[in-house]
Structure 1
Amino acid sequence: MTEHVIEVAAPPVGSRRPPPALLALAILACAVSAIPLVYLLVRVSGGAPDEIASILARPRMPALLLNTVSLVVTVTLSSLVLGMLTAFLLVRVRLRAQRVWIVLAALPLAVPSYLAAFGWLALIPGMQGFWGSFFLLTIVSTPYVTLPVAAAIRGGTTGLDDVARTLGHGPWRAFWLGTWPQIRPAALAGSLLVALYVLSEFGAVALMRYPVLTTAIQQAYGASFNRNYAAILAIILVAIAMILVFGEQRARGRVRRQFGAVTGVSRVRMVSLRAARIPSYLLLAVVPTCAVGIPVSVLVGRLLQAETLRELDVLSLGQAIANTLGLALGGAVTAVLLAIPIAALAARYRGRVVRAIESTGYLALGLPGIVVGLSLVFFSLAVIPALYQTAIVLTFAYGVLFMPKAIGAIRSSVAQVPESLSDVARTLGYSRWQTWRHVTVRLARPGIMAGAMLVAVTAMKELPATLLLRPTGTNTLATELWARTDVSAYGAAAPYAAALVLVASVPAFLLSGARRGRTDEVPS
């Protein structure tokens, strides 16, 4: 075993001024991603102050706010706890078929929340309200915490835990002093993704008949006579999203200040399960079983029925798969191109302008897909009418909606590239652009690819914006699935559900990191 001193916390962020070109690109990306927000502000500003005040004073408003906030808080906390426990078991504990468990932990990313809701409702028709929504959103959101925390634990060390144990601390106290500082940034980033995801969720809560801001927005947009009401509700969602993003930034800043100088021995001590073997395996099985196993098995059971097999349109299924893959790939490329300048700026520089740019980049994830879709409908008709109802607008919508998912992965990856390497490249005559391309991008490539795959797997499941912006005659697996399950034709929906899970499971598998090797391990 080789021992050496390493930095545990994130590398220090540069205090120099950002390059004008990078700052300009980041501002441009923010301006592009802010199109839905501009649309909302224009829509709200067109209303009379008395109308806005009357909408905010409606008796239903406090209930919608309470339902939304309570669901966001409870799901985020439960996903954080469950995700951290799962990540610890996957990385620090000796498991049989460990790589299989890692893949299973990431598999719920391939299952849309509305698909899980359909499966559970087919099994338990009375499963509705807050507890049904809380259960479903927790099981589909937990991987957003599990994967980054597992990556942080995998790249960390147990040396500080061992030092704490030699000072007389128990295992939990040693974990808190040694491992928690290393994984806290990843846990905060994953929790932010969960909170923003729950904030913008529509499908599962609608099926669970639990009224929140997103369902009220969908209903208001359906009643076209009162679009201002929907826009005001969406502005409230944006305000909540800003609070969440600002809170995560402040907590992340405290982590840097508190743990910036912590060092330890580069080694990982594995733990044996012993008496906790059965409870540990049961905990690992909870999320994939509830999020994937039960819903998919219910729908696949309908697929195996003779009537379903006779009515299966193979050509339509194949076309939906091709459309899903093409649109998701386009959305992933768009999101990464928009996210790279923002992520690079946030990783290397600090300041009010940088925080404002990063915060703006995250806001779209707090908006419902229908709001983004409608904003781009009005934008394309007003600016470039020829692009209305084309695949270009839909892939652009995916990029705007899911760019925040790419920002987090790319920012963390760029931050791990030592600035000293860039300085060496500059002294060798490389320009700033050449240094970025040949040094930073190459070393940050895993994070960039992870961000792209996370966007792709999410875009495959996206429904409201796809229904609104898809070109005429273009169907995806998500739209075909929704069209069939919306009329309770569970058997007809089963082929599309199975295909969606299989297609989305490929990037989910790659995101799991199951093929990556381990660091040095030390027996417990």
Structure 2
Amino acid sequence: MTDRVATPSPRRPWGLIAASLVAVALAAIPVIHLVVRVLSADPAELAAVFDRPRIPLLVGNSVLLAASVTLTAVALGVPSAFLLARARLRWRGAWAVLAALPLAMPSYLAAYGWLAWQPSMKGFWAAWLVLSFVSVPYVTLPVAAALRIGSTGLDDVARTLGRGPFGSFMLGTWPQIRPAVLAGALLVCLYTLSDFGGVALFRFPVLTTAIQQAYSASFSRDEAAVLAVLLVALALLVVIGEQVARGRAARRIQAAPATGRRRMTRLGPWTVPGLALLALVPAVAVVVPVAVLLGRVLTAETLQAFDGVNLAQAIGNTVLLSAGGAVVAVALALPIGVLAARHRGRMVRGIESAGYLALGLPGIVVGLSLVFFSLSVVPALYQTALVLAFGYGILFMPKAIGSIRSATGQVPTSLEDVSRTLGNSRARTWWAVTARLARPGIFAAALLAAVSAMKELPATLMLRPTGTDTLAVELWQRTDISAYGAAAPYAVALLLVAAVPAFLLSDARAGREATREAIAPDARAGREATREAIA
């Protein structure tokens, strides 16, 4: 087991550190350029922007929506996690899949489905409904994992002291899952602050929609930059809170016993309400929109207006641009993930934390800042596929870092030591040993970035080359003018195309499991070879 642990290197890997610093610097371009633009603007114009009465309304709406969605997601996610982890259920695996299904549904696609069914939906309550149910898995999944790790021993002690079921849960289980609840809640808050498509379709004014409107009006570019910096500040506060909560959660889990008595609960008369709760979230977030989409596609009006050539072009653009974004994301994340998996120290922790900075960058902010950057620094690249792929890489680099770090950390260091004793360089050792065994995790990182890029809307709207529209853009352009029938084929195509990397991603995870099984005999062989070399 000790072979799997990343041990501190006796030498600082300066080459890996340099590559990681370059990746962090490239990922920080949007924020740096945005701040520089705001600081170089006319102070009178900046003051005029902040004096507008609309600014407090936009900030208030953003905070109100984020807080409401977060509280709702926690209220639905915690009992759902308890049912999945602690209740006696039939077909538990199927319910777990359904609980995670809303993660695959973009907010604007769910909003489109509900609007196509109920065109009168708009405003705060419509945005709250869709965003809340789409975000529930961010709470359900980590809390369910914490419940599976934790023990019910303290609950039993509380019951013997006269506490009821709820009181014993609060005394025994809640302290164990509280870090996971806080971490999931902060992720929901960050997701809601950065959302653009859902709130735009429901006509609810928040910071993201105001940034898009200010950017579209050429005379308000400074206002767009100011609003973007304000949104980044709010998002970074959420990221800092998420990191604090994650650190506390890690310490709680590490301090908790690895095994313990876990009692499964019989629902009894609560079986039907419990199953109804588990079915409610995927029904609202996925089933209703998909059913409406299928109904719209099969109408005579939609079939008559169907443009197969344009749909095929949109599919091709979506696949090519998302693939390019996945390549950039993996290229940026690879040195950081390897460094974090194989080395320790304050510098490494600082570089890794900086790599996660993009978690606080909404797509609309990245798109806006890269528009400014490309126009002022590299005008030849403005509105090119390269800039859009770079934007995708910045947005989804943090997701790739986690997968690469985990996959690299699972490769035994003893195999690398054996390769070095045979005279191989660090680079050859990485390519022949580490990269080969960590390949499923790296592949999973690329697939995760690709499926995320396929659904990305605001950055695509700002950065796409002229005349190049993806499925997300075609869908948004039609739903924005309430042409729901014409948008239906693009919505269905987006679901089908995004399902392909999602399916491959599940295969990649299976590959990681196979890699874990294969690592054990390889580690034993490596130890034997090391002994022979020493002898």
1:459 aligns to 2:450 (yes or no): no
Residue 223 of structure 1: how far off its partner (Å): 1.8
> What pairs up with 1:490-509 in 2 under 5 angstroms?
490-508=484-502
Task: Give 2:365's aligned residue.
Answer: 371
Task: Give 2:520's aligned residue.
Answer: none
- Is the CA contact (8 Å cut-off) linking 2:152 and 2:262 kept in structure 1? no
Task: Give 1:290's aligned residue.
Answer: 284
Task: Give 2:257's aligned residue.
Answer: 263
1:161 aligns to 2:162 (yes or no): no
Task: Give 1:35's aligned residue.
Answer: 29
> Matches of 2:166 and 2:505 in 1, distance apart?
29
Residue 234 of structure 1: how far off its partner (Å): 0.9
> Matches of 1:262 and 1:352 in 2, distance apart?
26
Residue 445 of structure 1: how far off its partner (Å): 5.7
1:132 aligns to 2:126 (yes or no): yes
Task: Give 2:417's aligned residue.
Answer: 426
User: Highest Rg: 1 or 2?
Assistant: 2
- Is the CA contact (8 Å cut-off) linking 2:239 and 2:359 kept in structure 1? no
Residue 113 of structure 1: how far off its partner (Å): 1.4
> Matches of 1:17 and 1:53 in 2, distance apart?
51
- Is the CA contact (8 Å cut-off) linking 2:358 and 2:395 kept in structure 1? yes
> What pairs up with 1:21-420 in 2 under 5 angstroms?
21-150=15-144, 157=149, 160-162=151-153, 165=156, 168=160, 190-265=184-259, 271-346=265-340, 353-354=347-348, 356-411=350-405, 417=410
- Is the CA contact (8 Å cut-off) linking 2:478 and 2:484 kept in structure 1? yes
Assess, with a 3 A threshold, how the Cα gap between structure 1 residues 93 and 425 changes in structure 2: closer, same or farther.
Answer: farther
- Is the CA contact (8 Å cut-off) linking 1:389 and 1:469 kept in structure 2? yes
Assess, with a 3 A threshold, how the Cα gap between structure 1 residues 109 and 253 changes in structure 2: closer, same or farther.
Answer: closer
Assess, with a 3 A threshold, how the Cα gap between structure 1 residues 258 and 106 changes in structure 2: closer, same or farther.
Answer: closer
> Matches of 2:16 and 2:343 in 1, distance apart?
11
Residue 217 of structure 1: how far off its partner (Å): 1.1
- Is the CA contact (8 Å cut-off) linking 1:106 and 1:512 kept in structure 2? no
Residue 460 of structure 1: how far off its partner (Å): 1.2
> Matches of 1:451 and 1:15 in 2, distance apart?
25
> Matches of 2:433 and 2:172 in 1, distance apart?
31
Residue 37 of structure 1: how far off its partner (Å): 0.9
> Matches of 1:181 and 1:333 in 2, distance apart?
41
User: Structure 2: which 5+ runs fail to align?
Assistant: 514-535
Comparing 210-219 and 499-508, the one that deviates more? 499-508
Percent sequence identity over aligned pairs: 60
TM-score (norm 2): 0.80
Name which structure has the greater RCO, CA cutoff 8 Å, separation 6+. Answer: 1
Give SS of 2:258's match. strand
Equivalent residue letter for 1:30:
V
Residue 164 of structure 1: how far off its partner (Å): 6.0
Give SS of 2:473's match. helix
Compare the two structures and name the one with the higher helix fraction. 2
TM-score (norm 1): 0.82
Assess, with a 3 A threshold, how the Cα gap between structure 1 residues 226 and 389 changes in structure 2: closer, same or farther.
Answer: closer
> Matches of 1:80 and 1:258 in 2, distance apart?
20
Question: What do the CA deviations read for 1:23-47 (whole angstroms, capped 9, x no partner)?
Answer: 2222211111111112211210221
Assess, with a 3 A threshold, how the Cα gap between structure 1 residues 463 and 448 changes in structure 2: closer, same or farther.
Answer: same
> Matches of 2:315 and 2:453 in 1, distance apart?
13
Equivalent residue letter for 1:165:
D
- Is the CA contact (8 Å cut-off) linking 2:153 and 2:260 kept in structure 1? no
Assess, with a 3 A threshold, how the Cα gap between structure 1 residues 257 and 141 changes in structure 2: closer, same or farther.
Answer: closer
Residue 490 of structure 1: how far off its partner (Å): 1.0
> Matches of 2:78 and 2:332 in 1, distance apart?
30
Structure 1 vs Structure 2 CA RMSD: 3.8
- Is the CA contact (8 Å cut-off) linking 1:157 and 1:179 kept in structure 2? no
Residue 100 of structure 1: how far off its partner (Å): 3.5
- Is the CA contact (8 Å cut-off) linking 1:106 and 1:508 kept in structure 2? no
Assess, with a 3 A threshold, how the Cα gap between structure 1 residues 32 and 492 changes in structure 2: closer, same or farther.
Answer: same
> Matches of 2:270 and 2:192 in 1, distance apart?
32
Residue 497 of structure 1: how far off its partner (Å): 0.9
